[in-house]
Amino acid sequence: QKEVEQDPGPLSVPEGAIVSLNCTYSNSAFQYFMWYRQYSRKGPELLMYTYSSGNKEDGRFTAQVDKSSKYISLFIRDSQPSDSATYLCAMSSAGGTSYGKLTFGQGTILTVHP
Amino acid sequence: DGGITQSPKYLFRKEGQNVTLSCEQNLNHDAMYWYRQDPGQGLRLIYYSQIVNDFQKGDIAEGYSVSREKKESFPLTVTSAQKNPTAFYLCASFSGKVADTQYFGPGTRLTVL
Nearest C-alpha of chain B: how many angstroms from A34?
8
Confidence tier at A96 by pLDDT (50, 70, 90) = low
Whether chain B has a CB inside 8 Å of the CB on A21: the answer is no
Average pLDDT of the residues in A25-35: 93
Contacts of A65 (CB under 8 A, 6+ apart): A33, A50, A52, A53, A54, A55, A71, A72
In tens, the pLDDT along B54-106 reads 999 999 999 999 999 999 999 999 999 898 999 999 999 998 877 788 999 99
Those residues of chain B whose CB sits closer than 8 Å to some CB in chain A are: 4, 6, 31, 33, 40-43, 45, 48, 50, 88, 90, 94, 96, 98-107, 109
